[in-house]
Amino acid sequence: MVEMEEQQSPPSDRDGDDDIVTEGASVVHGEPIQDESGPPKVDSEVEVLHEKVTKQIMKEGHGHKPSKYSTCFLHYRAWTESTQHKFEDTWHEQQPLELILGKEKKEMTGLAIGVSSMKSGERALLHVGWELGYGKEGSFSFPNVPPMADIVYEAELIGFDETKEGKARSDMTVEERIGAADRRKMDGNALFKEEKLEEAMQQYEMAIAYMGDDFMFQLFGKYRVMALAVKNPCHLNMAACLIKCKRYDEAIAQCGIVLMEDENNVKALFRRGKARAELGQTDAAREDFLKARKYAPEDKAIAKELRLLAEHDKAVYQKQKELYKGLFRPKPDPKPKPKLADFNLAMVAVIISSPFQPTDAEG
């Protein structure tokens, strides 16, 4: 387990499974904002990588660039330059692309040239001529790209593996894929300990990429148990990073993936509860914490979160009480109406005192 601070760790940080602590905060760059109107506008310097490929950096990366036959993991969006039609988006699909430099598909030659110039974590806008894209014929299946269409890519290199033989995931044995994912997880934990949250999340995302749905669907028995023992902590560690970065909705999604496999996972319930509480979803957060406490009744961190929610509810009640104070006070008693006898006596007095009443002299 990676210990980060001298304090009581939450339940998801004490089981010795390389999980990480969620306290503190930091800021990292998240997924780029989706712009349905077309590619993002970038004003950085244009770098010519090839006669048909240019690059503009949107976010700087770190480390060195991948060499030939490196297995790269990246997210990207792609538009046809003339029509601004977006035809592919791996962020939306939540499935990064695996690209082996030097062994890429023909239609991704231009993209591969761009990726080979990038560092891990770098995000860039690439302009690729049709000759290095989908060619003269285009593509009429999936993706749907018209003939001779120049392409604009918004690409982010998550990370890469340096392998001389350029071995794809599909060519690896189950043990090799699980082992590669586990190494990425350990690298992510080391980076997290150094507060390099963005780099840590890149490692976790690469580890998860080795454990795609198509791969997990084929596993059963001990191999599935082995794979989940690596995959689930990666999702939980991603959630921990995202909570620190105040990206609570994304943290909830990561916990949800784990809970689909194990609905009573205390770590996932605890962290989803933390994220929901930060979003003001107090009822849902309380539900998560109560369920987590059911399976970890002695855990002090869970008890603390429930106590904080109770104090929050009390503060909200007091504020509402002050806000509406006086609006529902009882109405003051109305003045009593005069009785009929009193009214008659008053009328007699008026009549007697009237100057128009006849006197005995006048009679």
The structure tokens 């005069």 sit at 338
Predicted pLDDT at 347: 61
Q: Helix count (H) and strand count (E) of the chain? A: 11, 9
Chain segment 66-103, per-residue pLDDT in tens: 988 888 999 999 999 999 999 999 988 777 888 999 88
**H/E segment holding residue 121:** none
The whole-number pLDDT of residue 3 equals 35
Walk me through the domains of the chain, giving residue ranges and CATH numbers.
47-161 (3.10.50.40), 170-311 (1.25.40.10)
Contacts of 297 (CB under 8 A, 6+ apart): none
Which of 182-186, 239-243, 273-277, 323-327 comes out lowest in average pLDDT? 323-327
On the question of pLDDT at 9 being above 70, the answer is: no
- Distances 59 to 68, 156, 255 between C-alpha atoms, Å: 23, 9, 28
Q: What interhelical angle do 282-295 and 300-323 show, nearest 10?
A: 150
Task: Summarize pLDDT for 105-125 with one digit per residue, the tens.
Answer: 999 999 999 999 999 889 999
On whether the pTM is more than 0.85, the answer is no
Output 36 or 296, whichever has higher pLDDT.
296
Tokens 């008659």 found at = 344
Nearest to 4 by CA among 190, 186, 262, 205: 190
**Structure confidence at residue 22 (pLDDT):** 41
The 3-state DSSP class for residue 216 equals helix
How big is the CA angle at 72 (ends 67 and 78), to the nearest 5 degrees? 120
